[in-house]
Amino acid sequence: MILARSSSELEPAERAVAIGTFDGVHRGHRSVIEAAKASGLRSTVVTFDPHPRLVLGYEVQLLTTFERRAELVGEIGPDELLVVAFTPELSRLQPEEFVERVLRPLGTRVVFAGEDFRFGAGRRGDVALLRRLGLEVRAVPILTGFSSSRIRELAAEGDVAAAAELLGRPFELEGSVVSGDQRGGTLGFPTANLALDPHLLAPAYGIYAGSALGARAAVSIGVNPHYGGSERRIEAFLLDWEGDLYGRRLRLELWERLREERAFASEEELVAQIAVDVEATRAAERPF
């Protein structure tokens, strides 16, 4: 897949264009991109960076970093990914101007989009407008219940297993490993402390089974109430893994939520519960 940030970087061709933000690249998004790929034309995915809602000043918790979004799109296999810089100026373009500045220079012959796709200032542009402007549009039926918003809701409830069903893959967290309190090592369970990338969604506080770097991982998300903490921490104990992770990028898969976080009557009780969580992590099954 060729990744470009301007249509001038791409060779002239008639194109089937799949357009959208595609945060999370869930199964609904895949259906749009796969439809463009199957068209017989050169398939190009058009997406935006940064996320439009961030530029417009709204709060949004993203499911993926841009880099991960591009990687997931590439796994689907379109010919090209065109990343349009979303700026305040772009947000003010009327839909007709957007078509003339972005889609026509690309050689767009057919546009594939979800039936609820909106674009341009005030979200005035839609599938019907694209057709009136002379573009062939193939609206891809919406998969009921498959949306980035619904995935965020499920993750906020801690239901990462249900979120995985909509994503078509395990729910993920990504960031850099930073130094922490190093309590895990003294308890016999050394953890990697993850500084989550800005704007990424973290699920509900609790203990999760998952994986990282090919190893199973018992993951704690929360404030460490046993030690009276108040700041959110994401700590992963990688089972049967040795090495120094400080400073490295780390992607965690979360497979299922094992329990809520809580304080314990003693440190011995805490250690015993961690051991139970580790065994539950060994027994957990990866979705997909």
The CATH number for 32's domain is: 3.40.50.620
Q: What is the pTM of this model?
A: 0.93
6 and 73 part of one domain: yes
Give residue 36's domain range: 2-140
24 and 119 part of one domain: yes
How many CB atoms are located within 10 Å of the residue 249 CB? 13
169 and 277 part of one domain: yes
How high is the pLDDT of residue 182? 67
123 and 207 part of one domain: no
Look at residue 21 and tell me if it is in a domain. yes
Long-range contacts of residues 95-98, Cβ cutoff 8 Å, at least 24 apart = 95/119, 95/120, 95/121, 95/124, 95/125, 95/129, 96/120, 96/125, 96/129, 96/133, 98/125
Look at residue 23 and tell me if it is in a domain. yes
Percent above pLDDT 70 for the chain: 98
Q: In the listed set 81, 107, 140, which residue is the last one of a domain according to the structure?
A: 140
Determine the Cα–Cα distance for residues 220 and 193; give it in Å rounded to an integer. Answer: 10
Average pLDDT score over residue span 21-29: 96
User: pLDDT band at residue 180, thresholds of 50, 70 and 90?
Assistant: confident
195 and 267 part of one domain: yes
Look at residue 101 and tell me if it is in a domain. yes
115 and 168 part of one domain: no
215 and 133 part of one domain: no
Q: In the listed set 108, 140, 172, which residue is the last one of a domain according to the structure?
A: 140
Residue-wise pLDDT for 54-103, tens only, equals 999 998 999 999 999 999 999 999 999 999 999 999 999 999 999 999 99
278 and 210 part of one domain: yes
Look at residue 251 and tell me if it is in a domain. yes
How high is the pLDDT of residue 35? 96
Q: Domain total for the chain?
A: 2
Look at residue 238 and tell me if it is in a domain. yes
164 and 113 part of one domain: no
How high is the pLDDT of residue 77? 98
Residue-wise pLDDT for 187-218, tens only, equals 789 999 999 988 999 999 999 999 999 999 99
Residue 183 has pLDDT above 80, yes or no: no
How high is the pLDDT of residue 229? 80
User: pLDDT band at residue 185, thresholds of 50, 70 and 90?
Assistant: low
Residue 30 has pLDDT above 70, yes or no: yes
